[in-house]
Structure 1
Amino acid sequence: MAVADPTAGTPVPAAVAPAASRFRLLRYPDVAVPAGLLLLVVLACTAVPLLPGIPAPIGGSVLDSYLPAGSPGHLLGTDPNGNDILSRILHGGRSSLLVALSVNLIGLAIGGTLGALSGYVGGPLDTVIMRVLDVLIAFPSLVLTLAVAQSLGPSRLNTILALAFFSIPAFARIARAATLRLREQPFMAAAQLCGTSGRRILARHVAPNIAPQLITFGMLGAGIVMVIEGALSFLGLGIPPPAPSWGNMIAQGQQSLSATPMLVVWPCVALFVTVLACNLLGESLRDRWSGR
C-alpha cells in the first residue's frame, strides 16, 4: 500500500535543492560560456606558469628588452627589463584573481554573517549593526580605499585588507535583505516551533537559502575588485613592482606607449576579458536563480 508523501505539493526553496541540480545551470549558454571563459583564465593563470619552458616573470636581461611578439621563447615579446610579457600577464592574473577571491571571501564571511544575524535576530542588534554599516557606506569608498592603501603601504596583503574593509557592508546588506524575506517563510516558523536553536536555523536554513544572492553579488563584485586593484597598482598603491600585476604592467607600459603600445594592450585585454566573464556570469546566475 502506497503511503502519501506529506510534503507533496509543498514548494521547496531552490537553494535547498540537491547540489547536483545546481550544475544543471551549465546547460544554459548564458551561464556556460562565461563560466568556461572564467575557468580558462583561472587555469591559464594558475597552471600554465608551472609548465616547463615558461620563463620567469622577473629576472630578465636588459639585452633582451623590447623583443617583438613571436621571438624565440617569447610569444608576446618582452618588456623594457627583458621580462617575458606572457609570463608576467599570467602571474599578474594570478595576483588579481587572488585579490578578488580573498576580498570576496572576507566580505562574505564577515558581512554575510553580520547581515544574516541582523536580519534573523532583529531588534536592537539589527539597529546597531546596520547603523554601523550605514556609517561605513556613507563615506566615499574609493577615496578612503586610496587613503587606506597609502597609509598601509603598497603590498598585496594591504590591498586585500583595504578592499575587503569596504566589501563587508555590501555583503551584509544583501544578506540581511535576503534573511528578512526568508524569515517570513512557513518552514522557518516550523523550525522555530520545533525548538530548533537559532544557531542551527542560521546554519541549516538561512545560510543555504541566501547563498545564491551572495554568490551572485560576489561574482559581480569580483570584476569591480579587479578593476580597483588594477587602478591601485597603476597608481603605485597596489602590488609593487617587480612583482607583476595587470595594473602595474599597464603603468609600466604607458611610459613607452607610442613606441610599444602592446605593452599596455595585452594586460588591458586580459583584465577586460576576466572582468567581462565575471560580470556576465554574475548576471546570468542572478537571472536563472531568480526564475527569469
Structure 2
Amino acid sequence: MAVAETAHAARRPAPFDPAAQQRSMRRAAVRRRVVVVLPGALVALLLATCYLGPFVLPLPSPIAGNILESGLPPGSPGHPLGTDINGNDVLSRLIYGGRASLTVAISVNVIGLVLGGTIGAISGFFGSRTDTVIMRILDVVIAFPSLVLTIAIAQALGPSLPNTILALTAFSIPAVARVARSATLRVVSMPYVQAAEISGSGTGRILLRHIAPNILPQLISFGMLGMGIVIVTEGALSFLGMGVPAPAPSWGNMIYDGQQSLSATPLLVLWPSLALLVTVLLFNLLGENARDEMSSR
C-alpha cells in the first residue's frame, strides 16, 4: 500500500510556479538573442575588416609585391600570413579579396531584393493573368541550371566586377520573386489590406505601405541565406577566370592561383578557402536564426 502511494505521489505533477516559468522564458529569450546577435556581430566584424581594414591597418598593396619575397612563410617580418608566388602579401590579398567577394554578394542580393521583390509583390497582388504570365516567365528562367546560366552570361559579358554582379543577378531575381509572391499571397488576405482597398487607396500606396513592410523581413532572411550561395558562386566564377580578373584579388582567384603550387605551398589555398567557408557559415547561421526568430513571433 505504501509503495503504491509513493508511486502515485511520484506521478503527481509539480505545482505551478509562475516565477520559475518567467525565469525559464527569460533564459529562452536571452538564448535566442545570443543565437541571432553573435553571428550578426561576427558578420559586422568581417565587413568592417574588409571595408575599413585597408584604411586602418598598415597593409601593403595586394598586387604590387616584390618577386624577391615570393613564397615567404607565415610569420615573416611584415607578412603575418606570408607571401604568394608573386611576392604579394597574403593577408592584404585576403582582405581586399574579401571586399570584392562581399561587394558582389551584397550587390547581387540588393538588386535581387529590389527587382525580385517588386516583381513577386506585383504578381501576388494582382493575381489572375498577370500572375500567370510572370510566373511562367520565371519558371522558364529557373528551369535552366543556375550555375550553367551564370557561366554562360559571364563568358558572354567578359570578366569584370560589374559583369560578375550582372551574371549572378540573373538567377537571384527569379528566386527572390517566388518568395515575395508567396509572402504577398498571405498578406493580401489580411483584413488591413482589404480595408485599404475598400477605402479607395491606390495600388502603389497599398504595395508600399501595407505589402512591402510585411514581406520585407522574410525577404531579408532569404537574402542572408542567399549571401552564402552568391559568395560560393562568385568564387567558382573567379576560379574559372570569369569573375574578378587578375591581378585584382578575390577569394576564388586566390584559390586558383594557390592550387598551381599546392604541393609546395598548401597554405595559399587554405587561407582563402577558410575565409570562404567561415563567411558562408556566418551568413547561413544569421539567415537561419533570423528566420527562426521571425517565425516564433
With normalisation by structure 1, the TM-score equals 0.90
Distance (Å, rounded) in 2 between the aligned partners of 1:289 and 1:52 = 38
Distance (Å, rounded) in 1 between the aligned partners of 2:105 and 2:44 = 15
Distance (Å, rounded) in 1 between the aligned partners of 2:58 and 2:34 = 35
Three-state SS of the structure 2 residue aligned to 1:66 is coil
The answer to whether the aligner puts 1:218 opposite 2:223 as a matched pair is yes
Q: Residue 31 of structure 1 aligns with which residue?
A: 36
Q: Residue 144 of structure 1 aligns with which residue?
A: 149
Distance (Å, rounded) in 2 between the aligned partners of 1:90 and 1:51 = 12
The answer to whether the aligner puts 1:233 opposite 2:272 as a matched pair is no
Please tell me whether the aligned partners of residues 229 and 238 of structure 1 are also in contact (alpha carbons under 8 angstroms). Answer: yes
Q: Residue 96 of structure 1 aligns with which residue?
A: 101
Distance (Å, rounded) in 2 between the aligned partners of 1:269 and 1:141 = 25
Three-state SS of the structure 2 residue aligned to 1:47 is helix
Q: Give the one of 154, 168, 172 matched to 1:167.
A: 172
Three-state SS of the structure 2 residue aligned to 1:171 is helix
Q: Give the one of 51, 74, 78 matched to 1:73.
A: 78
Matching of residues 1-292 of structure 1 within 5 Å:
28-51=33-56, 53-291=58-296
Three-state SS of the structure 2 residue aligned to 1:257 is coil
Measure how far apart 1:51 and its partner are: 2.1
Q: Percent identity?
A: 63
Kindly tell me: are residues 245 and 27 of structure 1, through their superposed partners in 2, closer, same or farther at Cα, counting changes over 3 Å? same
Kindly tell me: are residues 63 and 26 of structure 1, through their superposed partners in 2, closer, same or farther at Cα, counting changes over 3 Å? farther
Q: Which digits, 9 at most, give the CA deviation of each residue in 1:70-90, with x for residues without a partner? A: 111111010111110000000
Q: Any unmatched runs of 5+ in structure 1? A: 1-23
Q: Which digits, 9 at most, give the CA deviation of each residue in 1:128-177, with x for residues without a partner? A: 11111111011111111111111111111111101001111101000000
Q: Any unmatched runs of 5+ in structure 2? A: 1-28
Q: Residue 12 of structure 2 aligns with which residue?
A: none
Measure how far apart 1:27 and its partner are: 6.6
Say what the alpha-carbon RMSD is for the aligned residues: 1.4
Distance (Å, rounded) in 1 between the aligned partners of 2:37 and 2:58 = 32
Kindly tell me: are residues 103 and 247 of structure 1, through their superposed partners in 2, closer, same or farther at Cα, counting changes over 3 Å? same
Distance (Å, rounded) in 1 between the aligned partners of 2:203 and 2:272 = 48
**Which amino acid in 1 is paired with 2:198?**
L
Q: Which has the larger radius of gyration?
A: 2
